[in-house]
Copies of this chain bind each other. A is one copy, B any other.
Amino acid sequence: MKVSIIGTTGYGGGELFRLLHHHPVFSIHSVHTTRDETPLYIEFPHLYGITDLKLEHIDVEEIAKHSDIVFIAAPSGVSSKLVPAFLDTGIQIVDLSGDLRLTDGEVYRKWYKHEPAKSSLLKKAVYGLSEWNKEKIMDAKLIANPGCYPTATLLGLAPVVKEGLIDPDMIIIDAKSGASGAGRSVSKSLLFSEINENFRIYKVNEHQHIPEIQQQLNKWDAGVSPITFNTHLLPITRGIMATIYVKLSENMNTARIIELYNEQYLRNPFVRIRQNGNFPSVKEVSGSNYCDIGLHVDERTGRLTIVSVIDNLMKGAAGQAVQNANLMNGLDEKTGLEYIPMYP
């Protein structure tokens, strides 16, 4: 099957290239950008000698003629305009932006400060949280690939929220991300000297991933109150950790909680529930599609600590996008994604 990538000069696009180039079923037909038409290796010198593909401008007709799937890794506000034309052509679309994730356009407008996609378009998008929406994804033509923070957070919270085991009024998520999550666009706050040997909280209580997480939690349990969710910038390139604090509504110990998580993620090869007393660090999933989860019930407080880590460019973006494309096409979801984390 032929695939094309739009937005190949950013970090998410680069990671899509890495995965799709090695994929045993998908084959990259073309790569696209709104910038200069140059060989891709000019933008990404690590690809020199690996590919001669030239960046091309975005021509929907041309792309659809030669591709079975298009991956769109563009900034907010692009996909809402671009996707309708692709839908008309009938090819599969995996959209990595936030444009199609929120079912209510007005919520999008409030948090993203952009014009939302049309309601009719939003209805066609299937939310691509692979582990929890597998059947719909398998039938989908258009995937709204989840955000990086929502992926780590929702995989961490799903079992206890779905099973109604926690106080729905107290969900607190303290999230931390590496700098690649902010993309490859230039701004003073992303300079090396500003981030290195530093640690910063940003968008305090205002991150645009809040409504995405809230929406999915409320699908699982309509009674979940507004969550607290904050984001910090780690001086690393890749990796997200969500440290999640919830209150158990019944008395359960750590062993029992771990058992529950293992059951819930039984047939999900990319979620690894750590053993009692063991907690994942972000480097332990770096370069892989794993989401690792550590769990601990604090008997002093009755609160459960959930630690969920992913590589934001993999399970948080390109990896999950490929996983969804696998599912859409009846492939084993692991196809082309069995990378061992690169450690150290």
**Chain B residues within 8 Å of A44, by CB:** 343
Chain B residue, CB-CB nearest to A296: B204
Beyond A179-B193, A340-B47, A344-B180, whether A241 also contacts B300 by CB under 8 A is no
Interface string of A295-310 (1 = CB under 8 A from B): 0101011010101000
Give A176 to B204 CA distance when docked, in angstroms: 17
Tell me whether A112 is interfacial, beta carbon within 8 Å: no
5 pairs of A and B residues whose beta carbons are closest in the complex: A198-B283, A200-B281, A174-B174, A205-B298, A46-B284
Give the residue of B196, B227, B238, B239 whose beta carbon is less than 8 angstroms from that of A179. Answer: B196
A295 to chain B: closest residue by CB: B204
A234 close to chain B: CB less than 8 A: yes
Given known pairs A179-B192, A234-B199, the reply for A48 and B241 (CB within 8 Å) is no
Query: Do A236 and B180 touch across chains, with their CB atoms under 8 A apart?
Result: no
**A residues whose Cβ falls under 8 Å from a Cβ of B:** 11, 14, 17-18, 21-22, 44-50, 170, 172, 174, 176, 178-180, 184, 186-188, 190-202, 204-205, 225-228, 230, 232, 234-239, 241, 243, 245, 272, 274-275, 278-288, 290, 292, 294, 296, 298, 300-301, 303, 305, 307, 338, 340-344
A-B contact pairs, 28 of them (CB 8 A): A11-B193, A11-B344, A14-B343, A21-B340, A22-B340, A44-B343, A45-B284, A46-B285, A46-B288, A46-B343, A48-B275, A172-B172, A179-B193, A180-B193, A186-B187, A186-B191, A190-B191, A197-B197, A199-B241, A200-B279, A200-B282, A201-B279, A204-B296, A204-B305, A205-B305, A228-B301, A232-B243, A287-B342
Extra pairs beyond A17-B340, A176-B176 (4, CB < 8 Å): A18-B342, A22-B340, A46-B284, A199-B241
Residues in B with CB closer than 8 Å to A344 are 11, 14, 180, 193-194, 196-198, 237-238
Name the residue on B nearest A233 (C-beta).
B281
Q: How far is the CA of A200 from the CA of B288 in the complex (A)?
A: 17
CB distance from A97 to the nearest CB of B (A): 19
In the complex, residue of chain B having the shortest beta-carbon distance to the beta carbon of A338: B22
Known contacts A45-B284, A192-B195, A342-B287; is-contact A307 B186 (Cβ 8 Å): no
CB neighbours (8 Å) of A205 from chain B are 296, 298, 300-301, 305
Residues of the B chain whose Cβ atoms lie less than 8 Å from the Cβ of A14:
343-344
Residues of B within 8 A of A21 (CB): 340
Q: In whole angstroms, how far apart are the Cα atoms of A21 and B187 in the complex? A: 29
Q: Are A340 and B199 in contact (CB under 8 A)?
A: no
A301 touches B226 (CB 8 A): yes
- Give the docked Cα–Cα distance between A11 and B278 (Å): 21
Within the assembled complex, what's the spacing in Å between the Cα atoms of A196 and B180?
11
Most buried by B among A46, A186, A190: A46
A243 closest partner in B (C-beta): B174
